[in-house]
């Protein structure tokens, strides 16, 4: 009797699950399931093309594959040459629909961290669910999910109503400079969109998505002192020397800012002594000094990550204030470079997360919560902040060991993530949808 009860309960649960999807949504999911093998084949094809950020030919080759797929879906596509910012370029596609719904911006990237010299070059199917390869999860898996989501929507007769912009950058892993040129197309697309969706792999957890990313930018501290015999340190004429001043400043940064939530600032490289030879390209160099010589100069470089533009501005102001209080006979300057902006955790982003979580529960794939921003690195979606009403990231293919030769993807989640993405896009582009709640 108990077995019969459990059997009937399973049937009832299945029926209720099906009831939560509309007829057209069932058509979408059926297409995804029926075409998963071809999705894996596409993933293998693009992973087997080396597209390290500085392999311009490889990046462009991957871009042309996705360009053809978007063109077949009715997108007007163009390749943005990256010569002006020292990279391969970007793929951009526009789809103008017949419906009045929201305009969506879908974001991916074509490049990986694996240049031609890397030992990781090929897609390898380890078993029926795990594949390894360069960029298999970060983020060629996400690009494939994006493409097959759109194909499922087209086959269901829905894409023709949708206004969608696709931007696949060619330099996310090693951004071109200046960023004002390297991200100009992405920012322009964000200006035209209402909602941004990123297909990065997030923290590779099926139960989470990204509604907030911290900024990522660099800083450089240059300190000068008076060189002299060590016996003269602390005198009025010689003062404290460059290394003591550097130590004071770094300690000040730690004392003033280390307890602030979601803010980090890391001094990653330091050179100091009587003579410093800096290699800016490699962010390293050489320093010469002796224990009996007061240090003449020091250089420190690091990064800073903040949860919002306001937090970043406050932190930079505090750091500059610490620097300004020099020890005797020393001077120091602190500069900040351009970098990835933060994606703040706005109400709009959390509203979008709720829509995504509802899609997931309707698909019986579990609920979804927000990733801790300390666990989410910088990504292209941050450039949409301030332009779109809401944004979410982490809709890509889950895996692990990203940026290492052990990078892998869980292929079981390829169709599941594609279903999630396709239904989210479908629901968000309905003219009746209320995105305020």
The SS3 of residue 423 is helix
Phi-psi region of 74 (alpha: psi -120 to 50; beta: other; left: phi over 0): left
Confidence band, pLDDT 50/70/90 cuts, at residue 375:
confident
pLDDT at 89: 98
What's the token pair of residue 184?
């100009």
Q: Is the pTM of this model over 0.75?
A: yes
- Identify the H or E element spanning 165: strand 163-169
Residue 6: band (very low, low, confident or very high) from pLDDT cuts 50, 70, 90? very low
| Element of type H or E holding 365 | none
The Cα–Cα gap between 216 and 373 comes to: 12
Spatial contact of 154 and 24, defined as CB atoms under 8 Å apart: no
Structure tokens that stand for 414 in this block: 């390829």
Q: In angstroms, how far apart are the furthest CA atoms of the chain?
A: 95
Q: What is the mean pLDDT of residues 426-435?
A: 77
Tally Cβ neighbours within 10 Å of residue 59.
Answer: 29
Predicted confidence at residue 94, as pLDDT, reads: 98
Residue 120 in contact with residue 90, Cβ under 8 Å? no
Whether residue 60 contacts residue 81, with contact meaning beta carbons closer than 8 Å, is answered with no
- Distance CA(64)–CA(391), nearest Å, equals 27
pLDDT of 431 higher than 70 = no
Which whole-number Å values give the CA distances from 84 to 88, 163, 178, 184, in the listed order?
A: 10, 29, 9, 11
Name every residue whose Cβ is closer than 8 Å to that of residue 419 and which is 6 or more positions away in sequence: 28, 29, 32, 363, 365
pLDDT tens digits for range 235-288:
999 999 999 999 999 999 999 999 999 999 999 999 999 999 998 877 889 999
Model pLDDT for residues 378-392, shown as the tens digit of each residue: 899 999 999 999 999
pLDDT reported for residue 13: 47
Distances (CA, A) of 402 to 54, 135, 398: 18, 8, 10
Whether the CB-CB separation of 298 and 270 falls below 8 Å is answered with: yes
Tokens of 364: 């019986």
Q: Which among 211, 206, 239 is positioned nearest to 224, based on CA atoms?
A: 239
To the nearest whole number, what is the mean pLDDT of the chain? Answer: 94
Domains in the chain, ordered, with CATH?
Answer: 16-213+342-428 (3.40.630.10), 217-336 (3.30.70.360)
Question: Which pLDDT belongs to residue 252?
Answer: 98
> Which residue shows structure tokens 């869980």?
410
Report d(CA 273, CA 264) in Å as an integer.
Answer: 27
Task: For residues 17 and 363, give the distance between their C-alpha atoms in angstroms, rounded to a whole number.
Answer: 7
Q: What is the pLDDT of residues 86-97, one digit of tens each?
A: 999 999 999 999
pLDDT in the model for residue 19: 55
Distance CA 138, CA 400 (A): 9
C-alpha 249/C-alpha 321 separation (Å) is: 10
Give the pLDDT mean for 360-374.
96
Question: CA triplet 121, 118, 376: central angle to 5 degrees?
Answer: 90
The string of pLDDT tens digits covering residues 286-339 is 999 999 999 999 999 999 999 999 999 999 999 999 999 999 999 999 999 989
């Amino acid at each position: 009797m108990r077995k019969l009860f459990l059997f009937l309960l399973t049937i009832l649960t299945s029926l209720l699950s099906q009831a939560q999807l509309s007829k057209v949504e069932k058509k979408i999911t059926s297409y995804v399931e029926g075409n998963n093998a071809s999705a894996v084949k596409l993933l293998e094809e693009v992973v087997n093309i080396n597209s390290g950020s500085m392999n311009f030919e490889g990046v462009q080759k991957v871009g042309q594959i996705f360009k053809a797929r978007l063109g077949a879906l009715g997108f007007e596509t163009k390749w943005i040459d990256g010569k002006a910012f020292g990279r391969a370029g970007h793929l951009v596609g526009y789809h103008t629909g017949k419906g009045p719904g929201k305009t969506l911006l879908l974001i991916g990237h074509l490049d990986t961290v694996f240049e031609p010299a890397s030992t990781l070059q090929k897609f390898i199917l380890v078993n029926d669910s795990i594949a390894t390869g360069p960029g298999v999860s970060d983020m060629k898996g996400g690009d494939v999910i994006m493409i097959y989501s759109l194909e499922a929507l087209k086959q269901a007769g829905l894409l023709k109503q949708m206004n969608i912009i696709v931007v696949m950058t060619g330099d996310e892993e090693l951004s071109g400079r200046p960023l004002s040129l390297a991200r100009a197309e992405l920012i322009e697309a964000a200006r035209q969109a209402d909602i941004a969706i990123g297909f990065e792999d997030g923290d590779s957890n099926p139960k989470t998505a990204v509604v907030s990313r911290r900024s990522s930018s660099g800083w450089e501290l240059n300190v000068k002192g008076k060189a002299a015999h060590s016996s003269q340190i602390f005198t009025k004429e010689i003062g404290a020397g460059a290394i003591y001043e550097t130590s004071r400043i770094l300690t000040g940064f730690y004392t003033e800012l280390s307890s602030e939530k979601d803010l980090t600032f890391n001094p990653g490289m330091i050179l100091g002594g009587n003579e410093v030879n800096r290699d800016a390209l490699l962010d390293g160099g050489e320093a010469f000094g002796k224990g009996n010589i007061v240090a003449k100069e020091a250089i420190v470089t690091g990064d800073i990550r903040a949860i919002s533009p306001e937090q970043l501005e406050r932190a930079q102001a505090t750091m500059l204030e610490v620097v300004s209080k020099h020890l005797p006979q020393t001077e120091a300057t602190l500069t900040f470079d351009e970098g990835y902006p933060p994606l703040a955790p706005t109400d709009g982003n959390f509203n979008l997360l709720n829509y995504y979580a509802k899609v997931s529960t309707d698909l019986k794939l579990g609920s979804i919560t927000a990733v801790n921003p300390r666990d989410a690195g910088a990504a292209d979606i941050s450039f949409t902040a301030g332009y779109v009403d809401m944004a979410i990231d982490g809709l890509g293919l889950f895996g692990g060991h990203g940026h290492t030769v052990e990078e892998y993807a869980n292929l079981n989640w390829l169709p599941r993530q594609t279903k999630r993405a396709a239904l989210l896009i479908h629901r968000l582009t309905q003219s009746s949808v209320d995105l305020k709640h």
